[in-house]
Amino acid sequence: MKAFLRLIPVLALLGCAQVRGDVAATVALARSVYGPEATLSAVRSVRYVGTAETTLATPEGPRPFKAQIEIVFQVPFRQRMVVTLEDRVEVTALDDYEAWQRVVDPADPTRWRLTLLEIEQIKRLRATTWENLAFHRGLEQRGGRLEDLGDATVDGVRAHKIAFLHDNQIIFFRYFDRVTGRLLLTETDQGERIREEGELMASGIRFSRKVITTTRLPDGSDRVVAVTFDQITVNETFPATEFSLPPVGRP
């Protein structure tokens, strides 16, 4: 009996190793969908250019909404998103542990507003930067962890559900096809459901052409935002000034 009791911790460790191995196998399969391992490991930046579309509720009824969008992610934790609208240009940037947003009137560049983002916003920007550059591998080295949530079904397809925990408040739940490794669905801790469609090749990497995010609003309705990418480039080099906090006296 004592010998058996001594084996219990060992058996528990073996069980954990099996779970980690299962997750590792799914991650490796998912990465193979995007491209060769050496190519993915060499990614240092990704730039997306496209169009965001949704429908806004107005007193006059639903109104289509469209904006031009450019997003840059660069290692280790740099991000810059420019959203161009008819009446304003919104620039949101992350520079490691600093983040800011600037809104400019395109008709009069001297009219602008600069806001420093809060800690939780910075954490989320850091998480999305990692998610867009790492292709699912290496979160443990960044202080996060992966949790095996077992089998699930998405649109009739058997999937492996894995939680990517950046911390206890920032979590991406990803569903991977058990057979092909294809990402079927992403859910976030904030209740968003993200689906990816189509294909756009860039530097030997297979990206999604369209990303559709569905968010449940307080009134019970859904807001759907679809972003379609026209251009994706990999491993451009962007100067630090693209991400750093701009001088307060300059628009």
| Tens digits of residue pLDDT in 11-69 | 333 333 344 569 999 999 999 999 999 999 999 999 999 999 998 777 777 788 899 99
Q: What pLDDT is recorded for position 20?
A: 56
| Tens digits of residue pLDDT in 194-215 | 999 999 999 999 999 999 999 9
Residues 20-242, CATH architecture: Clam (2.50)
Q: What pLDDT is recorded for position 138?
A: 96
Lowest mean pLDDT: which of 56-65, 82-91, 168-177?
56-65
Average pLDDT estimate for 225-237: 97
What is the rounded average pLDDT for all residues in the chain?
A: 90
Name the strand (E) or helix (H) holding 188: strand 183-188
CA distance 56 to 221: 12
Sequence-ordered alpha helix ranges (H) in the chain: 2-34, 37-41, 119-133
Q: What pLDDT is recorded for position 60?
A: 77
What residues contact 38, with CB distance under 8 A and at least 6 apart?
A: none
Give the amino acid at 185. L
Q: What pLDDT is recorded for position 68?
A: 97
Average pLDDT estimate for 187-191: 95
Transcribe 26-85 into DSSP letters: HHHHHHHHH--HHHHHT--EEEEEEEEEEEEEETTEEEEEEEEEEEEEETTTEEEEEEE-
Q: What pLDDT is recorded for position 3?
A: 42
Break the chain into its structural domains and give their ranges. 20-242
| Tens digits of residue pLDDT in 103-150 | 999 888 888 899 999 999 999 999 999 999 999 999 999 999 999 999
**Can you name the residues that pair with 62 across neighbouring β-strands?**
57
Q: What pLDDT is recorded for position 86?
A: 87
Q: What pLDDT is recorded for position 9?
A: 42
Helix (H, G, I), strand (E, B) or coil at 99: strand
